[in-house]
Structure 1
Amino acid sequence: MILLLLILTLLSLSRGRPNSSIVNHSTQLLRRLGVKRVPFQFDPYKEGLYYTNLDQNLRQVILNARNWTQISTLSNIDFIRAHNVELGRMQQTIPASSRFPCNLSQTRSPDVASHISRLRPGDIDIVAAFGDSTIAGTGIMALGFWDLMVEYRGFAYTGDGIESWRTVLTLPNILKLYNPNLYGYAVAHSLSADVKRSRLNVAEPMLYLLDLPFQVHVLIDRLHKDPKVNIHVGPNDICSELCYWHDLEAFLRLEERQLYASFRLLRDNVPRLLINFIIQPDIDDVMNVFSEMPDDCTTKASFFCNCHGKYKQEKYYNVAKRFFDMQKSIASLPELQRDDFAIVTHEIFKNVSNLWSRNGALDKRFMANDCIHYSQLAHAVLAKLLWNNMLNQTDFTLSEARRRPFEYFLCPNADRQFLRTTGDRF
């Protein structure tokens, strides 16, 4: 059984009443990772890994509040969806008379693949995902301020599979066509805490690459406990973390150490694993997106990416550049590539400003209401780009074709039977 793990550029709920044992388990995982608890104080920002007693004491309160917001908002899902359709933020529905663009025959190996480079799309039995708010589906359908933090996990492009490719194009909804028994994707809009619905999508909003080892432990724990499994960050690091560090070299060293530790944990604990590692965008691309935002979006986006104003300073800009290169460097280490384990990096956010812009201005159809997270239409586009890049090198010059979910859609064929692995040409 092959586990496809989707990473990006990282408690069972009963209605409103979280299970306290899950909260305690979170604390146990933090201690296992050497993350210390410190007293909460109104003092300047601390550098490093820690949590406060206030974090621990308010964990259930915050979880209850998030769950209440989630449930109350989703009770109006039909109205929310209809309004997003009017705004052009949803992909167009593909009629039943239209066939999927690819031939779906002979896409599963007759025998279990003995080497990860011989992996066909139909060989993937389990998908899992971890990362930050993008992978959690935060704000995809939001219409106002109060529902910006609702997690539409079932629409996120990497690890979610409600409905089908005709209405919601995600990577799991593509893979389900090749293997109807695919398992692990989220089956509803839910918090990660709702294990029955989020399944192996353990993404959480506001996570940093620094938090990846914790999330890896959560995933491994779910894999071991799930009876159906035999044996998975984003721009927050440069948007909301880096600019608060005085020692920028220490920041880079810690980020590098945490990413390396996460990959090693996965290599040593999850057999027969292919990791799709989605590289965080280059700082130049991030700044280009900000420059093309209308005024109302700039105000909103600055709240979620409050570090962007500091990248005019050379020291912060240079570290953000090195952060981009560090991700690829760690993922390409020889010790992290084996016959049954591979990391494939994906730069699907390359030239991302051109992807979301038209005539030098941000196209709001691709943005959620907060102008930072992506709409369902954008998630469909990203699903197509990730799928294409799993098969072959993506052509980033086809700007208009990239913006449409079903244009320039690659398919396995006689010359391209297997998914790309690290030895392939990018």
Structure 2
Amino acid sequence: MKYLIVSVCFFVAVAELVFGTGSGAKELWQKQMQTLDELIANNKIEARDSPNTRKIGLPFFDIAFEDEIPVDKTVHTLRPQDIDIVGAMGDSITAANGAGADTVAGLAIEWVGICYSIGGDDSLEQSITLPNILKKFNPRLDGYSVGNGPLVRKYPYGFNVAIPGARADDMLGQAEVLIDLLKTDNRSNYHDDWKMITLFIGGNDLCAIGRDPEGTTPEVYVAEIKKALDLLHSEVPRMFVNLVDILDIYLLPYVGYGYGSTPQCRALQSSFCGYVVDTMNDTVQKDYLRGINRQYQMQLQALIDSGIYDTRDDFTVIVQPFLRDAVLPYTEYGEVDATYFAPDCFHFSDIGHAMGAINLWNNMLEPVGQKTTVWSITDLKVPTKEHPYIFTYKNSGPAIPTTTKAPEVNATSVPVWVIVLAAILLVVLAGEAFMLVYLLRKKSSKGEKSQTMSEKGGHVNEGAYVEKM
């Protein structure tokens, strides 16, 4: 039996080579890897002889579409088949740490090939990711990440510039790296290619509230992301940015006690995000955390709603909120299903990444203002003839009219309701006229009889008259 002995020096060397330096991301990740090293050494965790072979695929996604290129292509008439390049920015979720791991030992590995937003391993039939969905529309798509490993930071990573441990203030640096790659990498035609970038950040910011309250306010969080978006907006042509909402992070500690969780999982969760774990049994702190979390979401949405990134026809930023009101997945027996998360109960597993890809894609095909805010296991949406484009603020209006014609109305004709009302009034008036004639005739008849009897000198017996009547 083989056992994995991982040295602290190895992880420190990896961190020095590949991790960011802003907001203490490098130091934080080194500390977390040291905790991982100690857990592995103390628990003598068995290593796998081969990479994870579990695949999360979708075999029956058949599509048919017309591939006519619009004359005046803009970001508001952008279709899935028009996307040439994909890229990603973020933290260890987008670096896919532990995504394919069976044990905590695999958390040091970045399984970028199965990352929900940028992974391109295999095909959609074997692995559900956004690039693999897009490949169904454009087989020539490029820029996605493939494979896995702690030191592979060049070609296999494609245009994935995410760094484990990163926070919002690392996004400007990542934007600079991404722009440089798009300009210099021969897979990208900088001026002509349509590029789709997915940015997901905020987990490490929320985890740092306890130790860095001033650097983790909603205002700081949004301001740092704005710097990165401003740079992309000012420099990059033909770009669509998916801005993924941060999830309600207070839920994560419950994963540590769900189906498939372990004591090592809970220990690592405390290492990665101790502040959040500590709020599990503290209602006051939990409410405070949730308030900050919600402000992250609301203020980021307000930034994008302002329209400052809709000043050009070849660039936009759209918030994709499928994690905004997310709930934890449960088993059929009512337990939190920890298999959607990596062995540290913090990062996404391959199943979690697949679920993220499905819901990100579906958000892209939902109008702004009508997007799903709770992720779920659901079918993949497909573009329609009425709405063939990826939704933006400017194309999220009413659906394009179909060929079915509405009933024609003659503007000079009398409305039907007027005719009906007139008929009713005529019936009522006719009834009243009939009753009036009847009463007048009856009165006239009485008068004639009384006059005849008076003329004969007879005494009128009122009782006898009434009896006769």
TM-score normalised over the length of structure 1:
0.72
Residues 233-257 of structure 1: CA deviation (Å, up to 9, x unaligned): 3342344222212437x73333222
Q: 2:325 & 2:298 partners in 1: Cα distance?
A: 16
The verdict on how the C-alpha distance between 1:165 and 1:120 changes in structure 2, with shifts beyond 3 A counting, is same
Q: Which residue of 1 aligns with 2:56?
A: 91
Determine if the alignment matches structure 1 residue 255 to structure 2 residue 226.
Answer: no
Alpha carbons 1:292, 1:357 under 8 Å: kept: no
Q: 2:222 & 2:360 partners in 1: Cα distance?
A: 24
Q: 1:265 & 1:219 partners in 2: Cα distance?
A: 11
Alpha carbons 1:343, 1:422 under 8 Å: kept: no
1:302 aligned residue (264, 270, 288): 270
Q: 1:425 & 1:299 partners in 2: Cα distance?
A: 49
Q: 1:51 & 1:202 partners in 2: Cα distance?
A: 14
Q: Which residue of 1 aligns with 2:336?
A: 362
Q: 2:119 & 2:347 partners in 1: Cα distance?
A: 16
Q: Which residue of 2 aligns with 1:327?
A: 300
Alpha carbons 2:91, 2:167 under 8 Å: kept: yes
Shift of 1:387: 1.0
Q: Which residue of 2 aligns with 1:184?
A: 143
Residues 333-384 of structure 1: CA deviation (Å, up to 9, x unaligned): 3221131111111111134224456554211331221111112122112111
Read off the aligned partner of 1:264 and give its amino acid letter. D
Q: Which residue of 2 aligns with 1:241?
A: 208
Shift of 1:329: 1.7
> Over alpha carbons, which structure has the higher Rg?
2
The verdict on how the C-alpha distance between 1:193 and 1:141 changes in structure 2, with shifts beyond 3 A counting, is closer
Q: 2:151 & 2:290 partners in 1: Cα distance?
A: 33
Determine if the alignment matches structure 1 residue 170 to structure 2 residue 134.
Answer: no
Q: 2:158 & 2:363 partners in 1: Cα distance?
A: 25
Shift of 1:192: 7.6
Determine if the alignment matches structure 1 residue 377 to structure 2 residue 342.
Answer: no
1:110 aligned residue (56, 69, 76): 69
Q: 1:130 & 1:168 partners in 2: Cα distance?
A: 21
**Larger deviation: 158-167 or 372-381?**
372-381
Read off the aligned partner of 2:254 and give its amino acid letter. S
Shift of 1:139: 0.1
Alpha carbons 2:114, 2:146 under 8 Å: kept: no
Read off the aligned partner of 2:270 and give its amino acid letter. S
Q: Which residue of 1 aligns with 2:324?
A: 350
Residues 17-65 of structure 1: CA deviation (Å, up to 9, x unaligned): 99x9x98xx99xx8xxxx7xxxxxxxxxxxxx5799x99xx9xxx9xx9
Q: Which residue of 2 aligns with 1:134?
A: 93
Determine if the alignment matches structure 1 residue 341 to structure 2 residue 298.
Answer: no
The verdict on how the C-alpha distance between 1:266 and 1:378 changes in structure 2, with shifts beyond 3 A counting, is same
Q: 1:333 & 1:396 partners in 2: Cα distance?
A: 20
Alpha carbons 1:278, 1:347 under 8 Å: kept: yes
Q: 1:300 & 1:110 partners in 2: Cα distance?
A: 50
Alpha carbons 1:280, 1:349 under 8 Å: kept: yes
**Larger deviation: 362-371 or 158-167?**
362-371
Alpha carbons 1:139, 1:152 under 8 Å: kept: yes
The verdict on how the C-alpha distance between 1:208 and 1:367 changes in structure 2, with shifts beyond 3 A counting, is same
Shift of 1:92: 5.3
The verdict on how the C-alpha distance between 1:112 and 1:166 changes in structure 2, with shifts beyond 3 A counting, is farther
The verdict on how the C-alpha distance between 1:358 and 1:263 changes in structure 2, with shifts beyond 3 A counting, is farther
1:410 aligned residue (357, 381, 390): 381
Q: 2:389 & 2:58 partners in 1: Cα distance?
A: 29
Report the secondary structure of 2:147's partner residue: coil
- Choose between structure 1 and 2 for higher RCO, CA contacts under 8 A separated by at least 6 residues: 1
**Structure with greater strand share of residues:** 1
The verdict on how the C-alpha distance between 1:138 and 1:300 changes in structure 2, with shifts beyond 3 A counting, is same
Report the secondary structure of 1:353's partner residue: coil
Alpha carbons 2:112, 2:148 under 8 Å: kept: yes
Alpha carbons 1:153, 1:191 under 8 Å: kept: no
Q: Which residue of 2 aligns with 1:215?
A: 174
Alpha carbons 1:144, 1:369 under 8 Å: kept: yes
1:143 aligned residue (102, 105, 109): 102
Residues 267-299 of structure 1: CA deviation (Å, up to 9, x unaligned): 0111111101101013xxx32343364174544
TM-score normalised over the length of structure 2:
0.66
1:124 aligned residue (79, 83, 101): 83
What is the number of equivalent residue pairs in this alignment? 350
> Structure 2: which 5+ runs fail to align?
1-12, 38-45, 191-196, 399-469
RMSD: 3.5
Q: 2:393 & 2:25 partners in 1: Cα distance?
A: 36
Alpha carbons 2:113, 2:121 under 8 Å: kept: yes
1:42-57 residue pairs with structure 2 within 5 A?
49=23
> Structure 1: which 5+ runs fail to align?
1-16, 36-48, 66-72
Report the secondary structure of 1:331's partner residue: helix
